[in-house]
Structure 1
């Protein structure tokens, strides 16, 4: 299967092939897709050292991508009136009584744990080895005490422990195990083949780690990592899923933006999952420079406001023996899932490259926001007023505030002065600069003159019939020659 052009899938293939030849992982799989089709998918290496190549049906541990499933179940319970997200966690799990340094008790809410702002510290290495912990053992862990690093609700800190506690909330609200609740409330209604125990009748990629250290006979080689079984910490990362299954999950989440209201969770609640609820510190970009983009956590998902692409939604999974990543672009529905069978291999990096390459290869640059047809018509009419002002046209175009804010006579004079400063404009106005649209009811565009250009702006009213409430014409001072 191919992308928009063959050079893009060749480049993506090269990126993932090098992961195998460079010894990052024994095997890898990547798929690029949109709302209608699989654009490209390919496996590399083997499901074990020297084993068969992974396919779209091969099961991998998806690790922390599981958190989006945990969050979705909590919202299903919220929407059914069975759970208040703003209730204190200790109302459901009384043994969870975290304290700040000095002994001050903190009471995180369910929402705070969902958005990684419960005050708990980052705990990946420890938590990833706790999956099989029993309820009784987990209760004992909590009763021994939990230390907070920040006041709950004030800062982002990625916490697996918080999601393990959320798993216990699910159990106590539903009266069933976490695994049973996720399966019956989410996986079965959606027909998703994700599971919490490795099935005997499915091809599963074997997890590995790299052997390091001098004097070790097979240093630099891969050794298998034993599978862990389900337990309390399955809520943080316990799912097995194939690429095909994870694509189905992403498409269902992303379908909320296209109005798909099917399934056990409403489109509105799925969009809520994909909102930035808690800002996070900047993360390094692919070249190692700290990102200036807004990044944070929604409900079980990371949300990024990219300056070029707009909103991106994602989650990574790192687990003993595995690395997984899912990432999509809600404006276009284009997404990527990627998997590797080596612990903490950071497959998110090549997955992010694959998505950016795909979007760059689109026949049309994916706009994050497109103006309404009415906004475009208003901009063309407004451009006509700049070249040939007509009070009747202006009266039909503008809302009543425009003439009240600045009478037409003054506007005509100001526009004429601006046109004179740029040396006049062509009879057929042209603009070489790219228009700016940050909202469908708003547009900024440019009209070229002999000695510079004009900056024009319109914004429509929120009421029908739509009228222009903001109209400005100004000289772009940087363009004057």
Structure 2
């Protein structure tokens, strides 16, 4: 592990870390190094925004067989993260008075199933009912041959709808291919040309079509079958991602877009807000997806995010608008959770504690004290409700002491899911990690910092 960490540090390409403390920088280095070592992912390229500017951009590991040293300016396919750019193009054309989000698809692209009732908004929010042409997490046989957007439409968008438009949510790359075709027809130019003139050049970005981001100077995508060797993966033929995920760019390029989002520049503020507003189904529910992005809140931090998967690549882009922060992680492998794990850990490192997190720090410390009591066979019954005291009989306490005591003090004890209400109590789940095992702790407590525990169950992790 130490040898690998040293190698990764030697191949890292720093840009700027003025806003990160030495301790934060070291932690980010370790997060990336440990994740690559754990998963076998060859390389990662990251960008961190804090205070509304890029404070760190680095590349680590092996980007390809022909790139001797990892470079932070190397362009990785960002795949479905591209969808928010397609959605932005639609919003720009709307602002120019050239279309409406409530226009029916048939007005621009004929022959599509449900085209007379599907709206552009439903294409962008994955509520159109059009069948997804690429649900697989691998390159299927047809992807060996080049394809055009019209080919995709002819094969998938003319099938019967999977559901009535607006009634369900189903991720659909097909819908975004249609949206890209609408952009090209209305703008009278290729989608990438429109984005270059209206987005990329104004923001100082230099993306390329991921179909040409292949060969010398570009990262190699890698695959792995189960726990077998890591092997170079053959890219898909030209045309398969189009408006659903055709962009390749550096992590810093994507971070520049994120800065525009948090500062509400380039697009009108109302457009950014519209993109980030979850679209509701006909029954009034939503899963948090807006127009090309998912929006939500976790532990007091509002976020806007999207991930991406191309053949041999995975990516994660998360923006915390209120904190003026963002994390971009691009990796050249499609077989692990390194991209999302790195992003989550970096976010935890760079974000200031929210009021919710500070409060949860208190409740987590309280839960850890109760766990310590149980492993020692003692229990302050004043912190438990009558039902919980009934549960912790003498035999229950004896079993807790006999099985938890030998494990000793956990290496870590962390909240693993935001608190939620259920049955008048607040449910919190924790994870206790030891040298050779992990335990799950499922608790229910009365609301408030002094609330008593209705439940405190310790169980083995999977």
User: Where on the TM-score scale, by shorter chain, does this alignment land: which range?
Assistant: 0.5 to 0.7
Q: Deviations over 1:50-107 (max 9, x none)?
A: 8434332111001111101100000000111101101111221111114xxxxxx982
Residue number in structure 2 paired with 1:410: none
Residue among 54, 69, 72 paired with 1:38: 54
Residue number in structure 1 paired with 2:174: 161
Residue among 312, 323, 335 paired with 2:314: 323
Could you tell me which runs of 5 or more consecutive residues in structure 1 were left unpaired when the two chains were aligned.
Answer: 99-104, 214-218, 280-293, 369-475
**Mapped partners of 2:315, 2:255: distance in 1:** 12
Q: CA deviation at 1:33?
A: 1.4
Residue number in structure 2 paired with 1:188: 201
Q: CA deviation at 1:344?
A: 5.0
Counterparts of residues 178-217 of structure 1 (less than 5 Å): 178-196=191-209, 197-198=211-212, 203-211=217-225
Counterparts of residues 216-255 of structure 1 (less than 5 Å): 219-226=228-235, 228-229=237-238, 231=239, 233-255=241-263
Give the stretch that moved more between structures: 191-200 or 238-247: 191-200
Q: Deviations over 1:1-45 (max 9, x none)?
A: 266543333333222212322343111122221244333333221
Residue among 265, 268, 285 paired with 1:266: 268
CA 1:36–1:174: 2 relative to 1, 3 Å = closer
Contact 1:312-1:327 at 8 Å conserved across structures:
yes
Provide the aligned length of Structure 1 versus Structure 2.
Answer: 335
Residue number in structure 1 paired with 2:14: none
**Does structure 1 residue 134 correspond to structure 2 residue 148?**
yes
Contact 1:332-1:366 at 8 Å conserved across structures:
no
**Mapped partners of 2:196, 2:153: distance in 1:** 24
CA 1:297–1:200: 2 relative to 1, 3 Å = closer
CA 1:278–1:40: 2 relative to 1, 3 Å = farther
Contact 1:85-1:111 at 8 Å conserved across structures:
yes
**Mapped partners of 2:37, 2:121: distance in 1:** 43
Q: CA deviation at 1:298?
A: 1.4
Q: Deviations over 1:257-286 (max 9, x none)?
A: xxx4xx3x222212221222248xxxxxxx
Residue number in structure 2 paired with 1:336: 327
Residue among 124, 130, 139 paired with 2:135: 124
Give the stretch that moved more between structures: 328-337 or 188-197: 188-197
**Does structure 1 residue 350 correspond to structure 2 residue 326?**
no
**Mapped partners of 2:149, 2:131: distance in 1:** 21
CA 1:128–1:193: 2 relative to 1, 3 Å = farther
**Mapped partners of 2:185, 2:67: distance in 1:** 42
Residue among 293, 301, 305 paired with 1:301: 293
- 1:14 aligns to what SS in structure 2? helix
**Mapped partners of 1:186, 1:41: distance in 2:** 21
Q: Deviations over 1:168-218 (max 9, x none)?
A: 1112212222233323332233331011153699832111112458xxxxx
Contact 1:274-1:303 at 8 Å conserved across structures:
yes
Counterparts of residues 439-478 of structure 1 (less than 5 Å): none
**Mapped partners of 2:167, 2:123: distance in 1:** 12
**Mapped partners of 2:131, 2:148: distance in 1:** 22
Contact 1:132-1:232 at 8 Å conserved across structures:
yes
Normalising by the residue count of structure 2, what TM-score does the alignment of the two structures yield? 0.65
Contact 1:26-1:342 at 8 Å conserved across structures:
yes
Give the stretch that moved more between structures: 150-159 or 37-46: 37-46
**Does structure 1 residue 48 correspond to structure 2 residue 64?**
yes
CA 1:223–1:233: 2 relative to 1, 3 Å = closer
Give the stretch that moved more between structures: 197-206 or 64-73: 197-206
Q: CA deviation at 1:142?
A: 4.9
Counterparts of residues 7-26 of structure 1 (less than 5 Å): 7-26=23-42
Could you tell me which runs of 5 or more consecutive residues in structure 2 were left unpaired when the two chains were aligned.
Answer: 1-16, 357-447, 452-462
Q: CA deviation at 1:233?
A: 3.3
Q: Deviations over 1:133-188 (max 9, x none)?
A: 21442353257x32323221122211111111111111221222223332333223
Residue number in structure 1 paired with 2:460: none
Q: Please report the RMSD computed on the Cα atoms of aligned residues, expressed in angstroms.
A: 3.2
Contact 2:153-2:178 at 8 Å conserved across structures:
no
- 1:22 aligns to what SS in structure 2? helix
**Does structure 1 residue 148 correspond to structure 2 residue 157?**
no
